[in-house]
Amino acid sequence: MSADQDFPTPILTAEPQSSVFTGDSVTLRCELIQSHNGWEFLWTKHSHSESTETATTIINSVKVSDGGEYKCRARRGRYYTERPKPKVTIKPAQHVFRGDTVTLRCDINGKGVTSWSYSWYKEGSTSVFSDRQEHTLSFVTESDAGKYTCYGSETEGSRWSQKSDKVTLTVLERPKPKVTIKPDQHVFRGDTVTLRCDLNGEGVTNWSYSWYKEGLTSVFSDRQEHTLSSVTKSNAGKYTCKGSETGGSRWSQMSDAVTLTVSDPRAVLSVSPHMWLTEGDPVTLICEVYNFSTGWTFSWFTLTVSAENSRHYNPLSDSSRGAGGNYTVSSAALNHTGVYSCRAEREKPAYKTQFSNTQLLWVTGVSPPVSLIVSPSRTQHFTSVSLSLICEDQSNSTGWRVRRYTDGGRLEDCSSLHRGSQTGSTCTISSTITSHTGVYWCESESGEKHHPVNITVHSGVILESPVHPVTEGDHLILHCLYQHTTSPNLRADFYKDGSLIQNQTTEMSITTVSKSHEGFYYCKHPERGESPKSWISVRASTDSRSDGLKPITTGVTAGLTVSVLIIVFLILLWRYRKNKGGRSQSPSTVSQQQNNSQTSDQNQSGTAHIYDSGGAAVNKDISTDSVSESTELTYAEIELKSTKKKKKKKENKGAGSSDVTHAQSQTHSNRAQEFTSLHIAFWVVTAMF
Residue 450: inside a domain: no
Give percent above pLDDT 70 in the chain: 71
Distance CA 433, CA 448 (A): 28
Query: Residue 351 forms beta bridges with which residues?
Result: 346
Mean pLDDT of 222-245: 93
Kindly give, in sequence order, each residue whose CB lies less than 8 Å from that of residue 93, ignoring residues fewer than 6 positions away.
203, 248, 250
Residue 2 sits at φ, ψ, to 5 deg, of -75, 160
Looking at residue 637, what is its pLDDT? 33
Q: Based on the domain organization, do 656 and 575 belong to the same domain?
A: yes
Distance CA 93, CA 205 (A): 12
Mean pLDDT of 43-70: 77
Q: Based on the domain organization, do 565 and 684 belong to the same domain?
A: yes
Mean pLDDT of 200-219: 86
Tell me, rounded to whole angstroms, the distance of Cα 662 from its chain centroid: 95
Residue 408: inside a domain: no
pLDDT digits (tens, 9 = 90+) for 590-611: 334 444 433 334 333 333 332 2
Q: Which residue has better confidence, 317 or 219? A: 219
Distance CA 174, CA 589 (A): 139
Mean pLDDT of 430-455: 88
Average the pLDDT over each of 102-116, 133-147, 487-501, 550-564 and give the range with the smallest value: 550-564
Residue 19: inside a domain: yes
Q: Which residue has better confidence, 487 or 592? A: 487
Give the domain range for residue 144. Answer: 87-172
Instruction: Check whether 136 has a pLDDT greater than 90.
Output: yes
Instruction: Check whether 371 has a pLDDT greater than 90.
Output: no
Closest by CA position to 588, among listed 654, 656, 651, 660: 660
Between the ranges 10-19, 349-358, 435-444, where is the mean pLDDT highest?
435-444
DSSP state, residue 595: H
Mean pLDDT of 386-397: 82
Kindly give, in sequence order, each residue whose CB lies less than 8 Å from that of residue 178, ignoring residues fewer than 6 positions away.
197, 198, 255, 256
Looking at residue 426, what is its pLDDT? 93
Mean pLDDT of 107-118: 82
Q: Based on the domain organization, do 230 and 272 belong to the same domain?
A: no
Q: Based on the domain organization, do 487 and 468 belong to the same domain?
A: yes
Query: Residue 455 forms beta bridges with which residues?
Result: 438
Q: Which residue has better confidence, 569 or 493? A: 493
Closest by CA position to 379, among listed 540, 520, 529: 520
Q: Based on the domain organization, do 568 and 681 belong to the same domain?
A: yes
Distance CA 258, CA 241 (A): 10
Looking at residue 652, what is its pLDDT? 44
Residue 649: inside a domain: yes
Looking at residue 575, what is its pLDDT? 64
Distance CA 547, CA 7 (A): 119
Residue 320: inside a domain: yes
Burial of 146 (0-12, 13-18, 19+ CB in 10 A): middle
The total number of structural domains that make up the chain: 6
Looking at residue 132, what is its pLDDT? 92
Mean pLDDT of 6-21: 75
Instruction: Check whether 489 has a pLDDT greater than 70.
Output: yes
Distances (CA, A) of 542 to 366, 373, 399: 10, 22, 30
Instruction: Check whether 206 has a pLDDT greater than 70.
Output: yes
Q: Based on the domain organization, do 36 and 114 belong to the same domain?
A: no
Residue 390: inside a domain: no
Q: Based on the domain organization, do 14 and 69 belong to the same domain?
A: yes
Mean pLDDT of 482-499: 91
Q: Which residue has better confidence, 275 or 8? A: 275
Average the pLDDT over each of 44-58, 60-74, 430-444, 519-533 and give the range with the smallest value: 44-58
Q: Based on the domain organization, do 168 and 233 belong to the same domain?
A: no
pLDDT digits (tens, 9 = 90+) for 321-333: 777 889 999 999 8
Instruction: Check whether 662 has a pLDDT greater than 60.
Output: no
Looking at residue 285, what is its pLDDT? 94
pLDDT digits (tens, 9 = 90+) for 527-559: 999 999 998 988 877 655 444 333 333 343 444
Looking at residue 246, what is its pLDDT? 86
Instruction: Check whether 14 has a pLDDT greater than 90.
Output: no
Residue 380: inside a domain: no
Question: Could you tell me if 338 and 318 are in contact, meaning their C-beta atoms sit under 8 angstroms apart?
Answer: no
Looking at residue 602, what is its pLDDT? 39
Question: Of 139, 172, 205, which residue is a domain's last?
Answer: 172
- Mean pLDDT of the chain, nearest integer: 76
pLDDT digits (tens, 9 = 90+) for 609-623: 322 333 333 333 333
Mean pLDDT of 205-216: 91
Mean pLDDT of 204-230: 91
pLDDT digits (tens, 9 = 90+) for 375-390: 999 999 999 999 999 9
Distances (CA, A) of 313 to 173, 300, 357, 363: 61, 9, 12, 20
Instruction: Check whether 202 has a pLDDT greater than 80.
Output: no
Question: Could you tell me if 544 and 519 are in contact, meaning their C-beta atoms sit under 8 angstroms apart?
Answer: no
Q: What is the 3-state secondary structure (H, E, C) of 276-297?
A: EEECCCCEEEEEEECCCCCCCE
Distance CA 190, CA 231 (A): 5
Instruction: Check whether 8 has a pLDDT greater than 60.
Output: yes
Distance CA 517, CA 495 (A): 12
Between the ranges 20-29, 149-158, 299-308, 463-472, where is the mean pLDDT highest?
463-472
The CATH number given to whatever domain includes residue 190 is 2.60.40.10
Looking at residue 323, what is its pLDDT? 79
Question: Of 172, 191, 213, which residue is a domain's last?
Answer: 172
- Band the pLDDT of 524: cuts 50, 70, 90: very high
Question: Of 499, 515, 544, which residue is a domain's last?
Answer: 544
Residue 314 sits at φ, ψ, to 5 deg, of -110, 115
Instruction: Check whether 626 has a pLDDT greater than 70.
Output: no
Q: Based on the domain organization, do 684 and 567 belong to the same domain?
A: yes
Q: Based on the domain organization, do 73 and 131 belong to the same domain?
A: no
Distance CA 83, CA 9 (A): 8
Between the ranges 52-66, 566-580, 590-604, 653-667, where is the mean pLDDT highest?
52-66
Collapsed DSSP state (helix, strand, coil) of residue 242: strand
Instruction: Check whether 164 has a pLDDT greater than 80.
Output: yes
Q: Based on the domain organization, do 45 and 149 belong to the same domain?
A: no
Instruction: Check whether 106 has a pLDDT greater than 50.
Output: yes
Q: Based on the domain organization, do 246 and 324 belong to the same domain?
A: no
Residue 499: inside a domain: yes
